[in-house]
Amino acid sequence: MTSDSPPPLDFAQSPINQQLTPEQKVELFTQMVRIRRFEQAGLKHYQMGKIGGFLHLYIGQESVAVGTISLGGPDDHFITAYRDHGHALAVGMGMNECMAEMFGKQTGCSKGKGGSMHFFAPDKNYWGGHGIVAGQTPLGLGLAYGLKYLEKEGCCLCYLGDGAVNQGAFHESLNLAALFGIPVVFVIENNGYSMGTSQERSSSMSSCLAQRADAYGMDWDVINGSDIYEVRAKTYIAMERARKELKPSLIEIDTYRYYGHSIADANHKKYRTPEEIEHYKKNHDPISVFRQKLINEGVITEDQAAEINKAAAAEANAAVKFADESPAPTIADISTDIYWESDNQTPASQIGRHFFND
C-alpha cells in the first residue's frame, strides 16, 4: 500500500453492523466456532469410519454462512449445495440432529435418508442441502419466486460454489431472476477450487466470477469473506434490494477451505501448496480475524473466547455421543417419505399400486 492510498473501509462502522449489540457480536463469533468444532468432530469420526459417503467440510468458510444468515428475517429463506453443515447450524439446527444424520441414524434431521449433503429444516426456512453442482440454483430461484407470488416481503439466499458458475442451470436461473424480477440473492462462496481445478483453469474471465451478472443486467458485488462485518454489510444491501425492489443480485464472497473438496479428495495438498493453506489460516481465517476484532473492541477477552471454543467442542462431542447411541433406520423406514399422499394415508394413496417391490 502506498502512503496516499485511502485506508480500507471499516465495515464494522456500516449501519447494519453498528446496530449489533455486544451480545449479538459474541453470538456471531460463537456460531462460527460451533461450526468449526462440529466439522472437526465430523472429520475425526469420518476417519474412524462412523460416517459414510462424502464429507464436504466448511472449515475456513464459516463467516459466509454465519454472516449472511444472521441478516435473515421471518420471510427470508436459504438453500445451498452439498457443503451444507455450516448453513444448517447457522439457521439454528441442532448439532445432535446434524451429526446423527451423518452417522446415518433415525434421529438425524432427514432420518438418515439424506446424509451429509442433504440437511433440511423447512421450519427454519432452510431448504437443503443439494448434491448436484448448481442443481439447487433453480430451486433457490423458485423459493424466491414463491415469496413474490405469495406476496411476502422476503428473499432467498441461494448459495453455490465457484465451480457451479459454469453450469447451465445457474445461467438459466440468472436470466429468469433478472427477467422476472425475483427476490433472490445468489451467493458464490468462492473458495478458489472446483474440486481439484483452480478458478484459473475452470472459468473464463477468472479474475471475477460475479461480473457475469452484467450479462443479465443484474447487480453484483465482491466481498472479502475473512471479515464477517464486510460479509454482513454488503450482503445486507443485496438482500434489501431483493426484498424492497424485487431485484436479484449476484455476490461473490472470497473464502477458502482448509480441507479437500471432500474428505475423499486425497489430492487436495497436490493441487495447492501447503504454504497457500498456511497463509490463509494465518492471515485470513475468519474466526481468528473476528476474534481479534472483538478483543480490540473490548467485546470479548482471550479467556472468554477460549471458553466459547471449549463449550463448542463439548457440544460437538455430545452430539457425537448422541449420534453414536441413536438407533439406525429400519428396513421398513426405507419405504416411507417417498410420496406425501402415501405417508399421510390419504384416499388418493389407496388407489392403485404405488410401490413395486417383489
Residue 82 found at the interface with another protein (CB under 8 A): no
Q: Which of 108, 161, 225, 260 binds another protein (CB under 8 A)?
A: 108
Backbone torsions φ then ψ of 126, nearest 5 degrees = -115, 115
Cell numbers found for residue 327 = 438407533
Residue 48 found at the interface with another protein (CB under 8 A): no
Residue 140 found at the interface with another protein (CB under 8 A): yes
Cα–Cα dist 331/288, whole Å? 45
Q: Which of 67, 72, 86, 142 binds another protein (CB under 8 A)?
A: 142
Select the span of 20-28, 56-64, 277-285, 346-354 touching another protein (CB under 8 A): 346-354
Residue 354 found at the interface with another protein (CB under 8 A): yes
The torsion region of residue 249 among left (phi > 0), alpha (psi -120 to 50) and beta comes to beta
Radius of gyration of the chain (CA): 21
Please, which residue, 44 or 118, has the CB nearer to another protein? Answer: 118
- Exposure string of 101-139, with b = 16+ CB inside 10 Å and e = fewer, is bbbbbebbbbbbbbbbbbbbbeebbbbbbbbebbbbbbb
Residue 137 found at the interface with another protein (CB under 8 A): yes
308 and 29 Cβ atoms separated by less than 8 Å:
yes
Cα–Cα dist 74/125, whole Å? 8
Residue 215 found at the interface with another protein (CB under 8 A): no
DSSP label at 13? G
Number of chain residues interacting with another protein (CB under 8 A):
57
Q: Which of 17, 96, 173, 191 binds another protein (CB under 8 A)?
A: 173
Torsion of CA 179, 211, 226, 276, to 10 degrees: 140
Cell numbers found for residue 315 = 457440544
End-to-end CA distance of the chain: 71
Residue 121 found at the interface with another protein (CB under 8 A): yes
Q: Which of 20, 26, 139, 277 binds another protein (CB under 8 A)?
A: 139
Q: Which of residues 218-257 bind another protein (CB under 8 A)?
A: none
Cα–Cα dist 349/347, whole Å? 5
Q: Which of 24, 301, 330, 336 binds another protein (CB under 8 A)?
A: 336
Residue 319 found at the interface with another protein (CB under 8 A): no
Please, which residue, 175 or 288, has the CB nearer to another protein? Answer: 175
Please, which residue, 14 or 349, has the CB nearer to another protein? Answer: 349
Element (H, E) at 219: strand 219-224
Residue 145 found at the interface with another protein (CB under 8 A): yes
255 and 64 Cβ atoms separated by less than 8 Å:
yes
Residue 328 found at the interface with another protein (CB under 8 A): no
Select the span of 30-38, 204-212, 300-308, 337-345 touching another protein (CB under 8 A): 337-345
Please report how close the Cβ of residue 264 comes to another protein at its closest, in angstroms: 20
161 and 194 Cβ atoms separated by less than 8 Å:
yes
154 and 119 Cβ atoms separated by less than 8 Å:
no
Residue 79 found at the interface with another protein (CB under 8 A): yes
Binding site for another protein (CB under 8 A): 77, 79, 108-114, 118, 120-122, 127-132, 135, 137-147, 149-150, 168-169, 172-173, 175-176, 179, 336-341, 343-344, 346, 348, 351-356, 358
